C-alpha cells in the first residue's frame, strides 16, 4: 500500500548540491519523490497520509556519523544497539558506522551479521559497520577483508587502537584497495603515548599526570602517508587533534594522495583547560590539546582540509569514569550533541550553514561509499528537521545514551533536532 508524506513550509537544505530554498518535500514509500520551492505551492493534493508543517525550520538530509562505539556485544552495560539508536535519532543522525571494539571484536562475518540483525530489530536508524583491520584487534594478522566487504563493510579500522606495525599497515592498504575501502587509522604512535593521561605540557605537569606528546599523532600519520605512497591504498586519519597533523594531511592532499580525515567536536570546541581538576569526563583519546591546536583544527575545517566531523561516541559506565583520573577510561558520548556542536561552527562564523552540514552529511557518506547524506529524487527519505537557533543547555542526566559521560555537560548550545525521519518513518519527535 503506497504511503505518502508531505513536508510543507520548510527551509530545504542540501549541502551536496548547494540547495537552500523555501519549499516542500514529498516522500513516497520511504523514498524522496519530489522537493523544491514549487512542491505544495498550491496546497497538498489528496492521497497524502502524513502532513508535516515544518514552520520554516530547516529540513536536511539526516546526519551520517562515521565513528560510533557501541557496547553490544560484550559491554551492554555501557551501550546497546537500541539505546545507541535512540540517542542517534534524537541527535538527527539517520546513519551511523559502528566501530569494532566490542567483545568479541567485529572481525568476522558472523559478528558483522549479528550487528546488522540487531539493527534491523531496533527499527530506528541505519547502522553500518567498519570491522577490524586485524584479527582480535591485535595488530598482527589481517581479517578476511574480502568476505567482510561482501557483507557490507564500509571501511576497516582497529577502532581506538593504532595499527602500529608498518608491514601490517602496508598489507592492509594493499588488500583494502582491491575492494575500494579505506583503512581508518587511530593516529597515535603507541610507544610515545603509552601510559599517558592527557596532553603533555605544563598543565599535565601541574596535575601530576603523565602526558601524551602531540608528536605521537603526526608521527603515525607521516609514517602512514609514506605507506599510502607505496601502496596507493585509501587512507583515512580519524579524530585529528593537532595542527601538525592537519598540516601533514593538507600537504598529502596537495600531492594528490588518496587521503581523507575527520575530527570530533571536542577538538574544535574544547581544550586541555577543560580537564580542570581531574575531570574524568574530559579524558579522551586523543586527549584534549592546547588552544593553538584547537585553532588549527578550526582552520582545517574552514579550508576543507578536514573532510568530516564524527561524534567519536565512546560510552563508559560510571564505574569506568567515577574513579581517579589516571584510572579512568578514555572517551565521551557524542551522538546527541553532534548537531549543535557542528552548528557552533556556523554560529561563530567559521562556516556557512551548508558547509557545516556537509561535514556530517554527504562528505562522510562519500568517504565510505554510502547512499546517504543527499537530498535527491529516488534517495531514501532519511531526513532531519531542525531548529538552527533554539538555545538549550547540554545536560548529562537528560541524554538518551545509556552512558552519560559527555565532556560537554552544562555547555550552552544553539540548534537541535526536532524530527528525525528514516525511510519515511518518523523515528524521533522532540517532546515525545
SS3 content of the chain, % helix, strand, coil (to 5): 35, 25, 45
Which contiguous run of DSSP H or E holds residue 83? helix 81-90
Q: Which residues of 295-325 are buried (b: 16+ CB within 10 A; e: fewer)?
A: ebbbbbbeeebbbbbbbbbbbbbeebbeeeb
Residues 6+ apart with CB under 8 A from 79: 69, 70, 71, 72, 315, 401, 402, 403
Catalytic annotation, pick one of 312, 317, 326, 355: 312
Has 409 been annotated as catalytic? no
Contact partners, residue 350, CB within 8 Å, separation at least 6: 298, 301, 302, 356
186: nearest Cα among 385, 330, 47, 54: 330
> What is the distance between the terminal CA atoms of the chain, rounded to a whole angstrom?
27
Grid cell for residue 37:
520551492
For 357-424, list the strands marked E by DSSP. 383-393, 412-422
Tell me which residue has cell 537544505.
Answer: 13
263 within 8 A of 237, measured Cβ to Cβ:
no
**Alpha carbons 377 and 103: distance in angstroms, whole number:** 40
Q: What is the dihedral of CA 113, 118, 124, 125, to 10 degrees?
A: -30
Report, as residue numbers or ranges, the catalytic residues. 312
Amino acid at each position: 500500500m503506497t504511503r505518502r508524506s508531505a513536508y510543507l513550509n520548510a527551509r530545504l537544505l542540501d549541502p551536496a548540491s548547494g540547495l537552500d530554498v523555501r519549499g516542500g518535500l514529498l516522500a513516497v514509500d520511504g523514498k524522496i519523490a519530489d522537493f523544491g520551492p514549487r512542491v505544495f505551492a498550491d496546497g497538498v493534493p489528496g492521497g497524502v497520509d502524513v502532513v508535516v508543517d515544518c514552520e520554516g525550520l530547516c529540513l536536511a538530509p539526516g546526519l551520517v556519523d562515521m565513528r560510533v562505539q557501541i557496547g553490544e556485544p560484550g559491554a551492554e552495560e555501557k551501550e546497546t544497539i537500541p539505546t545507541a539508536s535512540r540517542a542517534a535519532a534524537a541527535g538527527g543522525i539517520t546513519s551511523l558506522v559502528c566501530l569494532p571494539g566490542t567483545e568479541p571484536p567485529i572481525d568476522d562475518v558472523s559478528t558483522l551479521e549479528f550487528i546488522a540483525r540487531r539493527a534491523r530489530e531496533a527499527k530506528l536508524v541505519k547502522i553500518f559497520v567498519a570491522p577490524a583491520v586485524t584479527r582480535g584487534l591485535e595488530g598482527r594478522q589481517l581479517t578476511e577483508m574480502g568476505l567482510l566487504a561482501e557483507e557490507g563493510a564500509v571501511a576497516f579500522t582497529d577502532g581506538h587502537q593504532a595499527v602500529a606495525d608498518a608491514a601490517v599497515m602496508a598489507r592492509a592498504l594493499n588488500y583494502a584497495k582491491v575492494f575500494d575501502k579505506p583503512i581508518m587509522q587511530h593516529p597515535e604512535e603507541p610507544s610515545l603515548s603509552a601510559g599517558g593521561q592527557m596532553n603533555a605540557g605544563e598543565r599535565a605537569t601541574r596535575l601530576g599526570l603523565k602526558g601524551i606528546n602531540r608528536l605521537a599523532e603526526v608521527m603515525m600519520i607521516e609514517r602512514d602517508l609514506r605507506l599510502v605512497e607505496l601502496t596507493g591504498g585509501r587512507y583515512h586519519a580519524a579524530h585529528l587533534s593537532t595542527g601538525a597533523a592537519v598540516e601533514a594531511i593538507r600537504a598529502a592532499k596537495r600531492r594528490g594522495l588518496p587521503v581523507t580525515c575527520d575530527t570530533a567536536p571536542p577538538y574544535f570546541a574544547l581544550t586541555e583547560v577543560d580537564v580542570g581538576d581531574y575531570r574524568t569526563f574530559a579524558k579522551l583519546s586523543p586527549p584534549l590539546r592546547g588552544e593553538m591546536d584547537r585553532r588549527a583544527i578550526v582552520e582545517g575545517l574552514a579550508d576543507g582540509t578536514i573532510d568530516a566531523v564524527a561524534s567519536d561516541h565512546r560510552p563508559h559506565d560510571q564505574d569506568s569514569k567515577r574513579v581517579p583520573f589516571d584510572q579512568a577510561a578514555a572517551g565521551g558520548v557524542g551522538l546527541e550533541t553532534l548537531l549543535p556542536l557542528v552548528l557552533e561552527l556556523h554560529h561563530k562564523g567559521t562556516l556557512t550553514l551548508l558547509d557545516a552540514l556537509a561535514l556530517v552529511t554527504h562528505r562522510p557518506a562519500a568517504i565510505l561509499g554510502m547512499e546517504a547524506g543527499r537530498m535527491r529524487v529516488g534517495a531514501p527519505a532519511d531526513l532531519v528537521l531542525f531548529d538552527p537557533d533554539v538555545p538549550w543547555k547540554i545536560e548529562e542526566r537528560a541524554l538518551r545514551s545509556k552512558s552519560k559521560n559527555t565532556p560537554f555537560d552544562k555547555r550552552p548550545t544553539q540548534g537541535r533536532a526536532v524530527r528525525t525521519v528514516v525511510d519515511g518513518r518518523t523515528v524521533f519527535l522532540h517532546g515525545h
